[in-house]
């Protein structure tokens, strides 16, 4: 009799409860994320003389496997991943399509400096966690498909901030900085801003 009650009432109730908890934590405003433990290790790509190789720290340099780059540019992936929903679906579809075509590398932006509500770096050393989660999503989706990423950390143009934003930040902080974006490469404070960002 007790077994019938468990089979007919308790287990379905537990199932509904667990499903509700799962949906609450994954579709709410602060989704809980879990590490994906079953993915294989993807070594970094390095150079050995005239070839790219996949670095395996446990193998001697002469036994590293050659890596041939076949890739594309989709600068917009992080921006599309900031909000869950159709935009993220577009990112997943792009990376899936690239993998299906045999592409192995995607260049994408890992920066947005002080421009608009989706800025990754709001001001020097101040970051938007929501945008970082979007970048995390891109990295996880690429890894699922065996695609390596070239993450651009700044650009030459003023789109998405770039070098010009670093110059503005230094000027706003009261530093005597030329308005030329070439100051990005020479002014110590701007170099420190960028080094802190990369770190």
Domains and CATH numbers, the chain: 40-69 (no CATH), 70-198 (3.20.20.80)
pLDDT tens per residue across all 199 residues of the chain: 555 655 677 777 778 877 777 666 665 544 555 555 555 667 788 888 888 888 877 777 666 788 888 999 999 999 999 987 788 999 999 999 999 999 999 999 999 999 788 899 999 999 999 999 999 999 999 999 999 999 999 999 888 899 999 999 999 999 999 989 999 999 999 999 999 999 9
Rounded to whole angstroms, how far apart are CA atoms 156 and 71?
A: 22
pLDDT digit string, tens, across residues 4-25 = 655 677 777 778 877 777 666 6
Helix (H) or strand (E) holding 87: helix 86-100
Q: How far is CA 21 from the centre of its chain?
A: 27
How far apart, in whole angstroms, are the C-alpha atoms of residue 90 and residue 76? 11
pLDDT of residue 174: 95
Q: What is the pLDDT of residue 62?
A: 66
E strands along 103-183, which residues? 105-109, 121-123, 126-127, 148-152
The model carries a pTM of 0.75
Angstrom distance (rounded) from CA 9 to CA 14: 9
Rg of the Cα atoms in the chain: 23
């Amino acid at each position: 009799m007790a077994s019938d009650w468990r089979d007919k009432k308790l287990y379905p109730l537990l199932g509904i409860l667990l499903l509700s908890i799962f949906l609450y934590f994954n579709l709410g405003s602060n989704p809980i994320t879990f590490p994906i433990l079953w993915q294989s290790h993807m070594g970094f790509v390095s150079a050995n003389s005239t070839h790219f190789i996949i670095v395996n720290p446990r193998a001697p340099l002469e036994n590293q496997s050659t890596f041939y780059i076949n890739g594309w540019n989709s600068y917009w992936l992080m921006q599309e991943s900031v909000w869950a929903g159709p935009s993220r679906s577009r990112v997943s579809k792009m990376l899936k399509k690239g993998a299906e075509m045999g592409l192995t590398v995607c260049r994408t932006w890992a920066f947005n400096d002080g421009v608009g509500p989706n800025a990754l770096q709001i001001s020097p050393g101040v970051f938007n966690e929501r945008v970082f989660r979007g970048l995390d999503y891109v990295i996880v989706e690429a890894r699922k498909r065996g695609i390596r990423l070239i993450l651009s950390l700044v650009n030459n143009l003023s789109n998405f901030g770039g070098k010009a934003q670093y110059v503005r930040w230094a000027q706003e902080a009261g530093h005597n900085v030329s308005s030329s974006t070439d100051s990005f490469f020479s002014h110590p404070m701007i170099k420190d801003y960028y080094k802190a960002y990369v770190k």
